[in-house]
Structures are given as C-alpha cells and as structure tokens.
Amino acid sequence: MEGPRPHSPGARLPPDMSRPALHTALRTAQKVRDTGRGALLWGYERRLAREVRAHGRLPRHLGLILDGNRRYARAAGMQRELGHSFGADKAHEVLQWCLELGIPAVTIWVLSTDNTSRDPQELAHILGLLEREARNLATDPRIHANRVRVRAIGQHSAFPPHVLDALRELEDKTAAYDGMTLNIAVGYGGREEIVDAIKCHLSRRAAEGAGLPEVVAELEPDHISAHLYTAGTPDPDFIIRTSGEIRLSGFMLWQSVYSEFYFCDVYWPGFRRVDFLRALRDFQGRDRRFGR
C-alpha cells in the first residue's frame, strides 16, 4: 500500500538517549529527511487537497485504527513507550485535518480490551498519556472553537480514578457541543460493545415488565443499535487502519457492516497528511452499494 515505513534499520537512534532527547532527535531526523523532497511533496499534497475538496463527498463518520506505534518505535531503535507518545502527537494532527475538512464524526481506536493485558509498565504509560491528552483536549481552543463533542467509549471501570476523572471532565466540558463528534475508543472491543448493548436492552425491557419470550419475539437490529456506545452517531462509512495489517480486530463490528475500508502500510506515528488525503481520494472513487 501507499506510504513508506518511517525509518530504515540503518537510521536507528542511540538507545541510551533520554526520552525527551530521543523525541527531539527523531523529530529533527524527520525534518532533515523530508527537506530534500519537501517541495515536491508539498505540491503533491496541495493538489490532492484540491481534488478532495472539489469532489465534495467526505465520510460522515470516519473510523481510525491507530496501529503500529510499537513497531514504529522498534524501527527507530527506541523504547516502545515512545511510539505511543508519538502516536498521541499524531492523533492531534489528524484531528486538525478532520476539522479543516469538516468531517462530522470521527472515532479513533486508542486502546483495545485485548491490549489492557499488556505489560503493566507499558499499559501504565498508555493510560498516563490518555489522562494527559484528555486534560489537554479539555482546554484545547480548537475543541471549544469548533464545538467538538468528545466521548470516551469502551469499558473503563478498571481504569485508575485519575484517568476516569480526566475522561469525565473532558466529556462534561463538551457535552453540550453540536459540532464534530469525536469518539475516543479506549478499553474498547467490538464484541464487548455488542454484549453490553444486549444487556442494556434486556435490562430496560425487564424494568418495563416485559418477559423474556416477549423480548425475544420483538427483538430487532435497531434495538441493539440504540444501546451501542456510538448510539446517535451515524455508522462509519469509512475506516482507515494504519501499519499494513488487513483486519478490523474487532473495531465497530456491528456498525461497520457497510463501511468502506482502507489499509495503509505506514505506521500510525508516521501517517502523513498526504496519506490521509490519498485515503479520502480512494473513498471518493468508490461506488458504494451497501450490500446490494
């Protein structure tokens, strides 16, 4: 697929550098790498942007599977936690691109339920980043100027209280907004979402006095959809996954029945605006038949 891997093995950075020094050094290396081809890339990116805007058809709901953070770090010869830090930075960039194009809804998959069983040190780093980014978004002028409603979706009961407080504060501060909807899928799994939706529906009908035979007889797909984490948001019409993996891994299993998919070879922290625009151009060229 389109888009280069972020670094060749020969471009490794010294493993004994501090994390801030590694972060700075890698950013510098990226700038130096791009300088020689910057003019050509800039011109191509501008042309792509014009084409995408001129076409006009954009996703109503864009799903993003942010994959490849650890492999990005490994390719650069640095600690894996820094890959997640670079991934968080990239998420801020991509949010800006979506705002510029006026995409109404975006769901980014940050942490799956499967990944909550990772090495405790790595998981603690990811949750620390989540708390930091939630607090940053709560005061981000872009969020308030564009009236972005932010929701954290998934199963969060096992998260540390300080992380839950940061997510709750972010949701509370943006709850009344009517601009873009930004769903942050964290502690998220598609199967778990469907099970939770069914539990919610059964509990509600039981509270209304309905018996199980009655609930079974009347059950329709819309009853499940009404209790999904993304209820009230259109199903995603376009889903992008980075890192070259060609699978959904449980992302929005119910909602993605008619979604278009795009698998990009570049690792998430190396995902460029030109890669983003290429994906959207590809989406615009598809004839969507919705299973017909």
**Residues at the annotated binding site?**
67-71, 80, 84, 112-114, 118, 241, 247-249, 260
User: Does residue 139 lie within any of the structural domains?
Assistant: yes
Report the pLDDT value the prediction gives residue 41, as an integer from 0 to 100.
Answer: 78
Active site residues: 67, 115
CA distance 289 to 73: 39
pLDDT greater than 90 at residue 1: no
CA distance 5 to 91: 18
User: Does residue 273 lie within any of the structural domains?
Assistant: yes
Average pLDDT over residues 149-177: 97
Written as six digits, the tokens of 150 are: 């932010």
User: Does residue 265 lie within any of the structural domains?
Assistant: yes
User: Does residue 289 lie within any of the structural domains?
Assistant: no
User: Does residue 73 lie within any of the structural domains?
Assistant: yes
CA distance 64 to 46: 23
Percent of the chain whose predicted confidence (pLDDT) is above 70? 87
The least confident of 68-72, 76-80, 164-168, 173-177 is 76-80
pLDDT greater than 90 at residue 24: no
Report the pLDDT value the prediction gives residue 116, as an integer from 0 to 100.
Answer: 87
Number of domains in the chain: 1
Categorize the per-residue pLDDT at 52 as very low, low, confident or very high, splitting at 50, 70 and 90.
Answer: very high
User: Does residue 171 lie within any of the structural domains?
Assistant: yes
User: Does residue 226 lie within any of the structural domains?
Assistant: yes
| Residue 93 CA from chain centroid, whole number | 12
Report the mean per-residue pLDDT for the chain.
Answer: 89
| Structural domain containing residue 241 | 60-284
User: Does residue 258 lie within any of the structural domains?
Assistant: yes
- pLDDT tens readout for residues 112-122: 999 888 889 99
**Residues at the annotated binding site for substrate?**
68-71, 80, 84, 112-114, 118, 241, 247-249
Q: How far is CA 163 from CA 121, 151, 241, in A?
A: 16, 14, 26
CATH classification of the domain holding 82: 3.40.1180.10
DSSP state of 115: G
**Residues at the annotated binding site for Mg(2+)?**
67, 260
CA distance 91 to 271: 10
pLDDT greater than 90 at residue 205: yes
Q: Which amino acid is at 72?
A: Y
DSSP codes of every residue in 120-187: HHHHHHHHHHHHHHHHHHHT-HHHHHTT-EEEEES--TTS-HHHHHHHHHHHHHHTT--S-EEEEEEE
Average pLDDT over residues 184-210: 97
